[in-house]
Amino acid sequence: MWSEVWVVAAGFGSGGGMFGWSGGGWGALLWRSGALAVLTVLAFIMLGDAVRDALDPKLR
């Protein structure tokens, strides 16, 4: 609240309520970022297994 008052008093405007809305949404952001990281790691693991299966002469 006070950050909005200071910004408006300084003549910059409030940014359309940007400061007042900054407290929410962290859960969704962390969930999506974590899921993307897990999927990326799994993709690299599967790619590594596929390359090993293709190049390892002992498995043929």
**Residue ranges making up the domain that contains 31:** 24-59
Number of domains in the chain: 1
Q: Which residues of 27-47 are buried (b: 16+ CB within 10 A; e: fewer)?
A: eeeeeeeeeeeeeeeeeeeee
Structural domain includes residue 45: yes
| 5-47 residue pLDDT tens | 656 666 555 555 555 556 667 777 788 999 999 999 999 999 9
Structural domain includes residue 32: yes
Structural domain includes residue 31: yes
Structural domain includes residue 10: no
CB 32, CB 47: distance < 8 Å: no
Say what the pTM is.
0.55
Structural domain includes residue 8: no
pLDDT at residue number 35: 94
The answer on pLDDT for 52 being more than 70 is yes
Calpha distance 18→38 (Å, rounded): 31
Structural domain includes residue 19: no
